[in-house]
Amino acid sequence: MMVLGIETSCDETAAAVVSDTPPFIRGNIVFSQTAEHRPYGGIVPEIAARAHLDHLDGMIERALAEAKIGFDALSAVAATGGPGLIGGVIVGVMEAKAVALARGIPFVAVNHLEGHALSVRLIAPVAFPYLLLLVSGGHCQLLIVEGAGRYRRLGTTIDDAAGEAFDKGAKLLGLSYPGGPAIERAAKAGDAARFPLPRPMAGRPGCDFSFSGLKTALRLAVARQAGAGALAAQDAADLAASLQAAIIESLLDRTRNAIAIFKERCPVGETLVVAGGVAANTALRHRLEALAAETALDFVAPPPWLCTDNGAMIGWAGIERLKLGLSDALDFAPRPRWPLDPDAVRVRGAGVKA
């Protein structure tokens, strides 16, 4: 199988060619639109949609060239069908349908979250079921992954996502967009113990997350430190380190609860997996690795370049679905909201905002 994977749900325009036999990733091209959005300190949906339209054809050509194949060698095409910014999702889905129609091959609409959830299996034969901490710019969830298309949500955010906490925190600290990498860089020179920021939800039962209170606490700390002037460089570094520590402690506390539930519900489960853009964070990866060791679980994280949005994870999720006999009709309608676990109670948090 050779599957073209297309990702356009946020601010990366990405295409990849993925195979069901090693090496799985034959071509993988990601164009990050950060320069286009940076002046606004966040993603502007309209700019994103237009940029996807401008860049997608070129990304597909480059992915095919890297894989050394032409359109005629493709067995299927998979594209993110949601959740995400609807303009971008439409661009990717329309392109994928056109390729499928022209070549007479199956089209697979992939849930972006399923792309992240299964991405780990591109680099290691992780067996189902596994416990997944999914942390990205738009989502923050703990899930039991029972198989492709089969997810049980244990917890989700009731307000902001973890990546959003990094991004909004960076903005408050005057750091560049995207905030996660900027905070991680600044935190290296900072003292995480200097500002005692809250660890949201820590100590509470359950696996839900909340980050909006942390944002408020950071805003107050910034105002206190800066006064009427600008934040001193060392203060900004110390605040970045303190924010990163608070987010990580909160994620760890919730994951610890989820591990207990996972062990009870899935005694055969052996693995803790982290995925999504925030999973690129080195400090978080180290802490999760230690938590897994402490609780006798294996820990597997995709490499950082596979954590942030890419087409390979979409192509791979397409392959996993095709292997189950699943594909989609060409009248598939993009889904701005698309929960992985349809039985989970809907909450107000990230990904389900109006």
Instruction: Return residues touching ligand KG4 (CB under 6 A).
Output: 10, 136-138, 163, 166-167, 178-181, 184, 276-278, 280-281, 308-309
Of the listed pieces 67-75, 133-141, 159-167, 227-235, which binds Zn ion according to CB under 5 A?
133-141
Q: Are 81 and 328 in contact (CB under 8 A)?
A: yes
Nearer to ligand KG4, 80 or 271 (CB): 80
Nearest-approach distance from CB 319 to ligand KG4, in angstroms: 20
Residue 19 binds Zn ion, judged by CB under 5 A: no
Q: Which two tokens stand for residue 311?
A: 């087409």
Residue 119 binds Zn ion, judged by CB under 5 A: no
Residue 136 binds Zn ion, judged by CB under 5 A: yes
Interacting partner of 151 out of Zn ion, ligand KG4, none (Cβ under 5 to 8 A depending on kind): none
Interacting partner of 8 out of ligand KG4, Zn ion, none (Cβ under 5 to 8 A depending on kind): none
Q: Which of 348, 334, 261 is nearest to 297 (CA)?
A: 261
Q: Is 35 exposed, middle or buried (0-12, 13-18, 19+ CB in 10 A)?
A: exposed
Nearer to ligand KG4, 258 or 279 (CB): 279
Nearest-approach distance from CB 22 to ligand KG4, in angstroms: 25
Nearest-approach distance from CB 281 to ligand KG4, in angstroms: 3
Nearer to ligand KG4, 105 or 186 (CB): 186
Interacting partner of 179 out of ligand KG4, Zn ion, none (Cβ under 5 to 8 A depending on kind): ligand KG4
Nearer to ligand KG4, 16 or 100 (CB): 16
Residue 80 binds Zn ion, judged by CB under 5 A: no
Residue 141 binds Zn ion, judged by CB under 5 A: no
Residue 309 binds Zn ion, judged by CB under 5 A: yes
Buried b (16+ CB within 10 A) or exposed e, 264-301: eebeebebbbbbbbbbbbebbbebbbebbeebebbbbb
Q: Which of 201, 163, 199, 202 is nearest to 184 (CA)?
A: 163
Nearer to Zn ion, 9 or 255 (CB): 9
Interacting partner of 166 out of Zn ion, ligand KG4, none (Cβ under 5 to 8 A depending on kind): ligand KG4
- CA 106 to each of CA 4, 57, 197, 261, 325: distance values in angstroms, whole numbers, following the listed order: 11, 19, 50, 38, 11
Nearer to ligand KG4, 166 or 195 (CB): 166
Nearest-approach distance from CB 55 to ligand KG4, in angstroms: 16
Residue 11 binds Zn ion, judged by CB under 5 A: no
Nearer to ligand KG4, 257 or 310 (CB): 310
Nearest-approach distance from CB 166 to ligand KG4, in angstroms: 4
Interacting partner of 163 out of Zn ion, ligand KG4, none (Cβ under 5 to 8 A depending on kind): ligand KG4
Footprint of Zn ion (CB under 5 A): 136, 309
